[in-house]
Amino acid sequence: MREKISKSVREVGKSIIREMSIRASAYDNVISLGIGEPDFDTPEEVCNAALQDALKGFTHYTPSRGYEDLIAALLDYIEASRGLRLNPEQLTITHGGMGALTAVLKAILDPGDEVILLEPHFPAYRAQVAFCGGRTVPVPTSFEDGFVVDPPRVEKAITSHTKALLINSPNNPTGSVIPTNVLDELARLAVENDLFVISDEVYDRLVFDGTHESIYTRPGMRERTVVINSFSKAFSMTGWRIGYCYGPEWLIDEVVKVATFFNSCPNSVGQRAALSALRMKQTVFDEMAAEYEARCQLVYERLEAMPGIKVHPSQGSFYLFPNVEEIMEDATRFALELLDREQVVVIPGEAFGSSGKGCVRISCTVNQAQLSEAMDRFERFVRSCS
Ligand code: PMP
């Protein structure tokens, strides 16, 4: 019977990130820089509001698109933060950013359609495209280029089967941000070749230098772009499973159709929590973002001083993606031995596509004291290898 499992499902490997966590559970005194999950709990005010709302009866199915008041609050939030005024019909609440990605990909892909993915990338993209019958076409970036894509390489990857370009800035796993001129070029290519663009902006509040920029604002992009976003990272709300996406009304209508048949509706209490997060004073979330920046800087300074380690500063998100090749050519072995000898979890770069080879992802999602301790252990390991 086993061979009857869907080919696309069989071919997708298990999540290396989750596998590393399982391995780590066999050790004591582990510091995990593995999972990309904020360490801050959801603020108490948000939890209390959601609890009260649950007691008031917000425990039923919700409208497919999500509660109207949450959509209205999000439209105001997007206007205040991005200067964009959207219609309610252009946006839908989803089951996390993941739910938005699934529904968008399912809405646009026919079997055999190609999706261009800039590599390294969040591993779920590859699996999701495959589950929708699509083909991923990776366009690599490299450590030397600061993990910024060269638009002519994207142009070369476009074929008559290309349906969409999927971008993610700030980037998981590299911490790079796509510069203004590259966004302009990618937008031009999308318009010229009549492509959809899926712009995953879940780390938009965690940009360390300047403000977040979106491809959505470029000429000709509103009719072809879906922006994916989420409460998970910026609001420390991973477990509530609330995300959203916006784009052209006709496309969001189809996304809602898919999401309705897959999920019925987004989580009721999660939406109430998200509404309360938007209504509360934003300083607590700004402080979290500032803390991630301080942590990334701490790790950058420590890594930069280590012999044989090459590293770029993180420009956004909470990740760094140092190259460890001079210490050990195989970064997966590096990650496994680091765990074994020093009980520090990092993720081998290959989990994010083959251009992640030679690098490891460090997630700055523990406090600065623990990060310093993790860097002491990392350094001891590095020095012991050379
Ligand atoms: N996109 C990226 C780039 C991510 O890193 C993540 C979470 N790791 C997501 C989307 C999905 O986030 P969620 O479903 O929790 O909103």
Pocket test for ligand 1, best of 95, 98, 229 (most atoms within 8 A of CB): 98
Residue whose CA lies nearest to ligand 1 atom number 12: 97
CA 238 to ligand 1: nearest atom? 15
- Domain-wise residue ranges, the chain: 2-41+283-384, 44-279
State the pLDDT at residue 16.
81
Helices 368-385 + 331-342 axis angle, to 10: 110
| Nearest-angstrom CA–CA distance, 255 and 320 | 33
Contact yes or no for 170/317 (Cβ under 8 A): yes
**105 Cα: distance to centroid of ligand 1 (angstroms):** 15
Q: How long a stretch of residues is the chain?
A: 386
Contact yes or no for 303/361 (Cβ under 8 A): no
Q: 2-41+283-384 and 44-279 share one CATH topology?
A: no
Side-chain-side CA neighbours of residue 236 (13 Å): 20
pLDDT by residue for the chain (386 residues), tens only, comes to 888 998 888 888 777 888 888 999 999 999 999 988 999 999 999 999 999 999 999 999 999 999 999 999 999 999 999 999 999 999 999 999 999 999 999 999 999 999 999 999 999 999 999 999 999 999 999 999 999 999 999 999 999 999 999 999 999 999 999 999 999 999 999 999 999 999 999 999 999 988 899 999 999 999 999 999 999 999 999 999 999 999 999 999 999 999 999 999 999 999 999 999 999 999 999 999 999 999 999 999 999 999 999 999 999 999 999 999 999 999 999 999 999 999 999 999 999 999 999 999 999 999 999 999 999 999 999 999 97
Architecture of domain 2-41+283-384: Alpha-Beta Complex (3.90)
Instruction: Give just the sign of the alpha carbon dihedral 215, 217, 222, 228.
Output: positive
230 lines ligand 1 (CB under 6 A): yes
In sequence order, which residues have a C-beta less than 8 Å from that of residue 110 and are 6 or more positions away?
Answer: 133, 163
State the pLDDT at residue 305.
97
| Nearest-angstrom CA–CA distance, 47 and 334 | 40
**117 Cα: distance to centroid of ligand 1 (angstroms):** 15
Task: Assign a CATH topology to domain 44-279.
Answer: Aspartate Aminotransferase; domain 2 (3.40.640)
State the pLDDT at residue 155.
98
Burial 12-30 (b: 16+ CB within 10 A, else e): beeebbeebbebbeeeeeb
CA 97 to ligand 1: nearest atom? 16
State the pLDDT at residue 201.
98
